[in-house]
Amino acid sequence: MTPPPLEQPRYVTGRSEHLPVGGYPPKIYKYRDWKEQYHDEIITKKQIHFARAIKFPDKFDCRFPILFDFSFETVLEAYKGKITKQIESEGIRPNRDNIIRRVQLIYDECYGTDEKQEKRKKEYYSLIADKTYVFSAAKSCDSIRMWDGYADNLSGFCVEFDFEQIAPLIPVNLISGGHVRYISDPGYKLTHHFLNGEQPELRAKLFNELLIDAFTFKFKEYEFENELRFIKHDWTDDLGLLPHYKELIPTFNDKLDIPLSAYTGIIFGENIDPKHLDEIKIECEKQGLNVTYKMAYRNGDTIEIRPL
């Protein structure tokens, strides 16, 4: 199946330049509940937290089935460059026959049976589900379902960020992600090609593209979230499959410090406890956040945002 086209470009890790902000919203939002543990750290510590994907309650979120390509032709394409150099180093003239014979040995050892392919699939799924962390942001602050579901029925608050101030943090922290794409086909599978080619940089790039797809596809019923996702992967335990990124980022942190300049607003739900409202305003002042305060009110089937 052909995936739906991207409405906006994705962004990819490993870039040395700052991420262009074109195609992304000028503001992004995070709905929070002051009563929940860790939710206050978005203000008190000026940090965002990346949640471990395997802990997500929705069994379909970040769990799209993947159609791996472990065919001999794909393995041959991935290894032929490396095998060619190996044969040349032995003083032998490489040709298609001797390249195929050697790749066949690799294939038989690693992928020659269903059991071996299943083992490798489990390794990749483990890398994806166990080692990947996600920060989800909304592209709007006026969704009733978001206020009800993620900000305690308008008893919480919503933090407004300037995306342009966050963008430079993305490449230097090897963060990936993009706009979430919502599909209606329940049988959709992600297609991914062979990851163990000769170049570790290529393996890392291909795996990163798989991560972006795996974590930016959701079913149509979640379209109300209007979501932008940031993805961090723990490369410190990569099963030996992806040493390139492991060398680039040898330690992992599921938090990201956000600069003061990125904070632009706090929107309170109309049902917030006045005590919590005061605590949040005091903490914002303490942290030096130059934000504007607004209030979100339920107005029938819509949310109305007014200055506080």
Q: Which residues contact 273 (CB under 8 A, 6 or more apart)?
A: 34, 155
| 215-249 per-position pLDDT tens digit | 888 888 889 999 998 888 776 655 455 555 556 55
pLDDT in tens, 295-304: 999 999 999 9
- Residue 210 within any structural domain of the chain: yes
**118 part of a folded domain:** no
Q: Which residues of 270-303 are buried (b: 16+ CB within 10 A; e: fewer)?
A: eebeeebbeebbeebeeeebebeebbbebeeeeb
* CA–CA dist 236, 127 (Å, integer): 11
| Residues of the domain holding 201 | 27-64+133-307
Distance between CA atoms of residues 302 and 32, nearest Å? 19
Is pTM beyond 0.85 here?
no
**pLDDT band at 114; cut points 50, 70, 90:** very high
Q: Is residue 183 domain-resident? A: yes
**Residue 20: predicted pLDDT:** 39
DSSP lists the bridge partners of residue 292 as 265
Considering the domain boundaries, does residue 99 fall inside one? no
Asked if the structure places residue 142 within a domain, the reply is: yes
Query: Rounded to whole angstroms, how far apart are CA atoms 39 and 48?
Result: 9
Stretch among 117-121, 144-148, 192-196, 205-209 having the lowest mean pLDDT: 192-196
Domain count, the chain: 1
Task: Tell me: pLDDT of 262 over 70.
Answer: yes
Greater confidence (190 vs 26) lies with: 26
Give, rounded to a whole angstrom, the gap between the first and last alpha carbons of the chain: 49
Measuring CA to CA, which residue among 224, 208, 202 is closest to residue 147?
224
The answer to the question of residue 52 being in a domain is: yes
Q: Is residue 120 part of a domain?
A: no
The pLDDT of residue 63 is 63
| Residue 230 domain-assigned (yes or no) | yes
Q: What is the distance between the alpha carbons of residues 64 and 49, in angstroms, rounded to a whole number? A: 23
pLDDT tens sequence across 281-297: 999 999 999 999 999 99
With a pLDDT cut of 90, the percent of the chain lying above it is: 44
